[in-house]
């Protein structure tokens, strides 16, 4: 299964059980909960103060961030899109009846011009080619209403190898949108540390699923539970992020950029 392929992506959205969500751990990992919390705060007042907005969540996955923004103001109408069929099948049940689900992906979103009051696009554009990135921003600009807002987030790196640099992300964003906010997540160092126990957890969890009725199952479940209890703590993630930022400096620990803007 090739990394980044559609087959690999669909596999990532087959949950190990009904509580864990996708295989990145967006639903339960402390680091992911922290990232979603910081990102959602950027939108909180805008969502609470304006009712009945039409919002598009691009790359919604299984709906963990969609649920957060929906809960800020339940009068808003959210359309959530993702390229993965499994993501939409396993979308959070509590939000499923309140959110319109569409299988689609950037750069080709077939919505009419000036459809949405707001767009959320977290960690989706950065995986595309340069041409597709430009087309994606052009299309998001097209389907956003005049004066509409966009919340954009991307993985960033100091020297461009695969994702955006900070400068590249800002430059592309500002070609289409007036910037209101620029922020960052600082988990570049912690993510490398976390990768080891998280990888071990996934292996134990996968093995325990296969050995569900086997007498060896408790020996596999025990370390998985221990790793879960550690990895799920948001305070640990926050502490590690702050410590690494203090030791290595903000510029060396930036992992994601957050941009909020309005349509030009």
Tell me: do 150 and 195 sit in the same domain. no
If 0-12 CB within 10 Å is exposed, 13-18 middle and 19+ buried, where does residue 96 land? middle
Q: Which residues pair with 262 in a beta bridge?
A: 149, 178
Q: Quick one: pLDDT at residue 191?
A: 95
C-beta of residue 27 within 8 angstroms of C-beta of residue 231: no
Name the H helices within 111-262.
Answer: 130-143, 166-176, 188-210, 217-231, 234-248, 250-253
Q: Quick one: pLDDT at residue 114?
A: 97
| H-run or E-run covering 55 | strand 54-58
Tell me: do 180 and 193 sit in the same domain. no
Counting every residue, how long is the chain? 264
In whole angstroms, how far apart are CA 90 and each of 4, 58, 187, 202?
20, 16, 28, 19
CATH number of the structural domain spanning residue 13:
3.40.50.150
Q: Quick one: pLDDT at residue 213?
A: 60
Tell me: do 202 and 78 sit in the same domain. no
> By residue range, what is the domain housing residue 205?
189-246
Q: Quick one: pLDDT at residue 18?
A: 78
Q: Quick one: pLDDT at residue 96?
A: 63
In a domain, 237, yes or no: yes
Q: Quick one: pLDDT at residue 111?
A: 97
Tell me: do 48 and 137 sit in the same domain. yes
Tell me: do 149 and 259 sit in the same domain. yes
Tell me: do 66 and 142 sit in the same domain. yes
User: How far is Cα 73 from Cα 69, in angstroms, rounded to an integer?
Assistant: 7
Tell me: do 52 and 169 sit in the same domain. yes
What's the pTM value of the predicted model, to 2 decimals?
0.92
**SS3 of 132, please?**
helix
Total number of domains constituting the chain: 2
In a domain, 1, yes or no: no
Tell me: do 28 and 140 sit in the same domain. yes
**SS3 of 23, please?**
coil
Half-sphere exposure of 135 (CA within 13 A, CB side): 11
How do the pLDDT tens digits run along the chain, 264 residues long?
777 788 989 999 998 887 899 999 999 999 999 999 999 999 999 999 888 999 999 999 999 999 999 999 999 999 999 999 999 999 987 666 789 999 999 999 999 999 999 999 999 999 999 999 999 999 999 999 999 999 999 999 998 888 999 999 999 999 999 999 999 999 999 999 999 999 999 998 888 777 766 555 666 788 889 999 999 999 999 999 999 999 999 999 999 999 999 999
Tell me: do 46 and 71 sit in the same domain. yes
In a domain, 120, yes or no: yes
If 0-12 CB within 10 Å is exposed, 13-18 middle and 19+ buried, where does residue 60 land? buried
Tell me: do 92 and 143 sit in the same domain. yes
User: How far is Cα 208 from Cα 193, in angstroms, rounded to an integer?
Assistant: 24
Tell me: do 235 and 173 sit in the same domain. no
Tell me: do 157 and 198 sit in the same domain. no
């Amino acid at each position: 299964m090739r990394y980044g392929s559609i087959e690999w992506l669909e596999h990532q959205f087959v949950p190990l059980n009904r509580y864990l969500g996708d295989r990145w751990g967006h639903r339960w990992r402390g680091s992911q909960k922290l990232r979603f919390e910081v990102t959602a705060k950027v939108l909180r007042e805008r969502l609470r103060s304006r009712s009945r907005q039409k919002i598009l969540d691009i790359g919604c996955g299984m709906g963990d961030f969609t649920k957060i923004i929906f809960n800020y103001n339940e009068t808003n109408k959210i359309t959530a899109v993702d390229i993965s069929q499994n993501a939409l099948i396993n979308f959070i049940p509590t939000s499923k009846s309140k959110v319109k689900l569409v299988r689609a992906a950037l750069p080709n979103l077939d919505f009419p011009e000036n459809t949405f009051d707001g767009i959320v696009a977290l960690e989706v554009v950065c995986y595309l080619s340069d041409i597709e990135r430009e087309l994606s921003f052009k299309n998001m600009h097209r389907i956003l209403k005049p004066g509409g807002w966009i919340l954009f987030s991307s993985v960033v790196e100091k020297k461009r190898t695969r994702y955006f640099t900070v400068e590249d992300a800002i430059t592309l964003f500002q070609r289409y949108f007036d910037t209101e906010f620029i922020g960052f997540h600082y988990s570049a160092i912690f993510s490398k540390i976390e990768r080891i126990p998280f990888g071990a957890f996934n292996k134990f969890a996968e093995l325990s699923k296969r050995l569900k009725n086997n007498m060896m199952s408790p020996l596999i479940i025990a370390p998985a539970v221990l790793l879960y209890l550690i990895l799920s703590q948001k305070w640990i993630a926050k502490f590690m992020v702050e410590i690494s930022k203090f030791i290595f400096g903000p510029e060396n620990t930036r992992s994601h950029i957050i941009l909020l803007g309005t349509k030009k």
